[in-house]
Amino acid sequence: MGSVVDPDVSEDSDEPPESVESFGVGPQATPATPATRIAANIRRRVNVLRVMGLRLASFPYDNSASSHH
């Protein structure tokens, strides 16, 4: 039974660092968390820029087409 309790204890000890990591207290413990956050932010910004670019591109095209006509 001791071997069964060992993995459980190790898992429990691994959980607290994750919660603390989200707060940014120990970034060195798992640098993957901040990196993933930054990547997610960049992806979100890129998506927003793409949507904005499509909208901005569609507006000038319509205006130029109407002015040409």
What's the pTM?
0.32
Measured CA distances, 8 to 15, 18, 43 (Å): 11, 16, 36
pLDDT at 33: 73
Determine the Cα–Cα distance for residues 35 and 38; give it in Å rounded to an integer.
5
Q: Both tokens of residue 7?
A: 């993995």
In a domain, 61, yes or no: yes
Q: Residue 44 sits in which domain range?
A: 29-69
In a domain, 4, yes or no: no
Give yes or no for a contact between 19 and 31, defined as CB atoms under 8 angstroms apart: no
Give yes or no for a contact between 22 and 32, defined as CB atoms under 8 angstroms apart: no
In a domain, 55, yes or no: yes
CA 13 to chain centre: 25
pLDDT at 60: 61
Residue range 14-63, pLDDT digits in tens: 444 444 444 445 445 455 577 788 888 888 888 888 887 777 777 666 65
In a domain, 3, yes or no: no
pLDDT at 59: 67
Q: Both tokens of residue 54?
A: 């499509």
Tally of domains in the chain: 1
